[in-house]
Amino acid sequence: MNQWTKRSLVMGTLLVGGVLGLSYCSNKAEQQIQQQEQGNLNASADLKTLMAARNLTEGDVEAALKTYTPTGKKDEYMIFASGGQSGQVLAIGVPSMRLLKVIGVFTPEPWQGYGYGDDTNAILAGGNQGTHKLTWADVHHPNLSETKGDYDGQYLFVNDKANARIAVVDLADFATKQIVANPLVASDHGGAFVTPNTDYVIETSQYPAPLGRDYAPLSDYKAKYRGLAMFWKFDRTKGRIDPAASFGVELPPYSQDLADAGKLVSDGWVFIGSWNTEMATGGTLQGKPAIESGASQNDMDYLHIIDWKKAEQVVAAGKTTTMKGVKVITLQTAADENVLTLVGEPKSPHGADVTPDGTAIVVGGKLDTHGTVYEFSKIKDQIAAKKFESKDEFGVPVLSFKDTIRGQVELGLGPLHTVFDDKGNAYTSIFLESKVAKWSLKDMKLIEKLSVHYNVGHILAAEGDTVSPDGKYVVAMNKMSIDRFTGVGPLYPQNFQLIDITGDKMKLLADMPIGIGEPHYSQMIKTDKLKPLKMYTPGFNPATGVKDPNAVEGGKERIERHGDVVDVYMTAVRSHFTPDQVEVNEGDTVNFHITSLEQAEDQTHGFTVDMYNVNISLEPGKHENVTIKADMPGVYPMYCTEFCSALHLEMQGFFLVKPKGAK
């Protein structure tokens, strides 16, 4: 039997198997033939010849061996990466650096049907701010839920810097469940960082403005403009943020930046960097310095230290004011009650990262060459003893810089973010030098620098933000890729570079071009901590988290008319929708209630009504509701958008809209 006969036999099996739902087995047969073919090809080529032909060094081959993941083999880690301006989150396997999923979060995602049905539209609508419909977000920092300071694999939180929002993604089905909009500020940045048991999701503002998004002229900057640290209470039993149990802490009008929660000995505290303590507001047309230079005058800015357990007590004691429905500890109260304390940090800092043991906080400096390490015990003791050096002009106590730090280590030009391994080492991204600096936390000594390509922003490490990082891998998230990839026009991909940190020397293993958004931060979790669902229980509505009241059972499909409202109770199963003919009158409101009757793994259907901007994803067992206004008379195919079986194309129906006045 030659290959072609074998192939056509397999295709025949595929066709029959697809109808019978046996495509998995026949795929396996196809795979075996492919492997045989590859085996025959490779037998004639030895490794050295291949290396020469592809111009590969031994180092390249070693890197390939460390990352190559043959078909069927799975990754040890998963990265959850910010999708930047796309408003989404990327799930990436490590070490293969294969993209596994793009999770729709703040932006509609058609494949998942996210934002094209009633229930996911309601989730997106939860993030409405202001009067303009928001169709994008600037995602910066994904953070995994933690239990006792360790990733527990249950939830992921992300922030939208552009519109001050936080989203909750459930890692049971990798789907967004909630978006909360901060009513007090217009931008955030220090989010979405979690406390060690995920009691709170922290969101701090970036650009100061009057709280509540009121108007005040820039001449009132010091008097009326403020920052905010929001503590969103997470209700784990519901898997949702509870806005009513959340609170804010008013901050001075400095530009608050990255934040991190304390852990172990520093549990109960939050550290937030800031820049522009000069409170520059620009005014270039009036001949004043641009904000970039106005904000770079002071040698020191302020690290903000918040005692959030104290803040909880202050809230419980009712010492808050309510602004737009949010309980807020005013700046005055925060200063008086020592909820908020400041300490100097070197020129235009970026990053505030708590070490795995919780004893120290590492801060980088965009305009400083050091990594600065603060000793938490010194901070805590001085606050307890009320040993303050001064107050800022808003009355917030300030600690002495030199009495607070463990030390500083010279790292290079533009140190930004720091992550940690399991051996007491820190890894800091050096933006201007395009390097990753490895240094020892104990000896405060630089160990090694590795070139990355190029302009590294954040870096991340395996389980890097937990109390027990794994070591093994660091990923440099590079802003520029200049000469790394084939050209795709003037908007270049970003470049994630996987680095092996197991040996004495860091070793670059692989590049992954990122052609979506501008990722900022990511976290990397061991995949054995994730317990993703394979399918939903029949009739389950993932957006509401319960079996849908309109779920449809096989045999109970029907169309009901109530005046000009038509309810279509529909099921989907290979390879048909029931009912497959829906005729309504122009002007009717049509509610589709669709349940997938599938209970076989990876058997997904889609459902669209052409021209009506509907596309939902029906994973096995899932229920979705879609409402459309039948305002376009005509005949519109409804069809399944997922190639689900050999008779997928036949999985269609008709949506007929009878024009007004027609017989």
| Residues engaged in binding ligand CUA (CB under 6 A) | 575, 605, 640, 642-644, 648, 651
255 vs 604, which CB is nearer to ligand CUA? 604
326 vs 460, which CB is nearer to ligand CUK? 460
82 vs 382, which CB is nearer to ligand CUK? 82
Query: Residue number with the shortest CB distance to ligand CUK?
Result: 457
Give the angle subtended at the CA of 202 by the CAs of 201 and 206, to the nearest 5°.
145
Element (H, E) at 471: strand 471-478
Rounded Cα distance between 593 and 305, Å, is: 50
* Binding partner at 648 among ligand CUK, ligand CUA, none, C-beta below 5 to 8 Å by kind: ligand CUA
Rounded Cα distance between 475 and 507, Å, is: 11
Distances (CA, A) of 39 to 42, 44, 45, 73, 341: 5, 9, 10, 18, 66
Which residue is listed with tokens 């025949």? 12
The distance of closest approach from Cβ of residue 203 to ligand CUK in the complex, given in angstroms and rounded to an integer, is 13
The distance of closest approach from Cβ of residue 646 to ligand CUA in the complex, given in angstroms and rounded to an integer, is 10
Rounded Cα distance between 650 and 640, Å, is: 9
177 vs 417, which CB is nearer to ligand CUK? 417
Is 593 a residue that touches ligand CUK (CB under 6 A)?
no
Q: Which of residues 61-100 bind ligand CUK (CB under 6 A)?
A: none
The distance of closest approach from Cβ of residue 640 to ligand CUA in the complex, given in angstroms and rounded to an integer, is 3
Residues 6+ apart with CB under 8 A from 369: 410, 411, 412, 413, 415
Rounded Cα distance between 603 and 640, Å, is: 12
Which residue is listed with tokens 């940045």? 189
382 vs 571, which CB is nearer to ligand CUA? 571
The distance of closest approach from Cβ of residue 536 to ligand CUA in the complex, given in angstroms and rounded to an integer, is 16
Rounded Cα distance between 42 and 61, Å, is: 16
Q: Decide if 212 contacts 139 (C-beta within 8 A).
A: no
The distance of closest approach from Cβ of residue 91 to ligand CUA in the complex, given in angstroms and rounded to an integer, is 24
182 vs 615, which CB is nearer to ligand CUK? 182
Rounded Cα distance between 233 and 485, Å, is: 43
**Beta strand pairing status for 565-573 and 589-596?**
parallel
Mask 230-269, x = binds ligand CUK (CB under 6 A)? ----------------------------x-----------
* Binding partner at 327 among ligand CUK, ligand CUA, none, C-beta below 5 to 8 Å by kind: none
* Binding partner at 165 among ligand CUA, ligand CUK, none, C-beta below 5 to 8 Å by kind: none
Exactly one of 101, 140, 574, 622 binds ligand CUK (CB under 6 A); which one?
Answer: 140
Rounded Cα distance between 241 and 66, Å, is: 40
Is 475 a residue that touches ligand CUK (CB under 6 A)?
no
The distance of closest approach from Cβ of residue 59 to ligand CUA in the complex, given in angstroms and rounded to an integer, is 46
305 vs 477, which CB is nearer to ligand CUK? 477
The distance of closest approach from Cβ of residue 608 to ligand CUK in the complex, given in angstroms and rounded to an integer, is 36
Secondary structure (3-state) at 507: strand
Radius of gyration of the chain (CA): 28
Rounded Cα distance between 476 and 81, Å, is: 12
The distance of closest approach from Cβ of residue 575 to ligand CUA in the complex, given in angstroms and rounded to an integer, is 6
Q: Which of residues 180-209 bind ligand CUK (CB under 6 A)?
A: 189
What is the phi/psi pair of residue 381, to 5°? -60, -40
Exactly one of 226, 310, 370, 520 binds ligand CUK (CB under 6 A); which one?
Answer: 520
Is 350 a residue that touches ligand CUK (CB under 6 A)?
yes
Which residue is listed with tokens 């549990």? 267
Could you give the strand order of the β-sheet that contains 415-420, starting from the edge strand earlier in sequence? 415-420, 425-430, 435-440, 445-451
274 vs 320, which CB is nearer to ligand CUK? 274
Residue 622 is classified by DSSP as: B
82 vs 617, which CB is nearer to ligand CUA? 617
The distance of closest approach from Cβ of residue 571 to ligand CUA in the complex, given in angstroms and rounded to an integer, is 12
Q: Please give the distance of CA 138 from its chain centroid, rounded to a whole number.
A: 10
The distance of closest approach from Cβ of residue 102 to ligand CUK in the complex, given in angstroms and rounded to an integer, is 19
Site size toward ligand CUK, by CB under 6 A: 11
Exactly one of 177, 378, 458, 623 binds ligand CUK (CB under 6 A); which one?
Answer: 458
* Binding partner at 640 among ligand CUK, ligand CUA, none, C-beta below 5 to 8 Å by kind: ligand CUA
Contacts within 8 Å (CB) and 24+ apart, 376-380: 376/262, 376/265, 376/266, 376/269, 377/265, 378/403, 378/404, 378/405, 379/305, 379/341, 379/343, 379/404, 380/266, 380/269
* Binding partner at 416 among ligand CUK, ligand CUA, none, C-beta below 5 to 8 Å by kind: ligand CUK
* Binding partner at 435 among ligand CUA, ligand CUK, none, C-beta below 5 to 8 Å by kind: none
* Binding partner at 350 among ligand CUA, ligand CUK, none, C-beta below 5 to 8 Å by kind: ligand CUK
Is 439 a residue that touches ligand CUK (CB under 6 A)?
no
Mask 14-53, x = binds ligand CUK (CB under 6 A)? ----------------------------------------
The distance of closest approach from Cβ of residue 494 to ligand CUK in the complex, given in angstroms and rounded to an integer, is 11
Distances (CA, A) of 438 to 28, 66, 371, 406, 411: 45, 21, 11, 18, 9
The distance of closest approach from Cβ of residue 457 to ligand CUK in the complex, given in angstroms and rounded to an integer, is 3
* Binding partner at 644 among ligand CUK, ligand CUA, none, C-beta below 5 to 8 Å by kind: ligand CUA
Exactly one of 93, 253, 358, 457 binds ligand CUK (CB under 6 A); which one?
Answer: 457
Please state whether the peptide bond connecting residue 542 to the residue before it is cis, i.e. omega within 30 degrees of 0: no
Q: Decide if 638 contacts 577 (C-beta within 8 A).
A: yes
Residue type, 279: M
* Binding partner at 406 among ligand CUK, ligand CUA, none, C-beta below 5 to 8 Å by kind: none
107 vs 418, which CB is nearer to ligand CUK? 418
Residue 536 is classified by DSSP as: P
Is 521 a residue that touches ligand CUK (CB under 6 A)?
yes
Residues facing 420 on adjacent strands:
426
Please state whether the peptide bond connecting residue 397 to the residue before it is cis, i.e. omega within 30 degrees of 0: no
Applying CB under 6 A, the residues found at the interface with ligand CUK are: 140-141, 189, 258, 350, 416-417, 457-458, 520-521
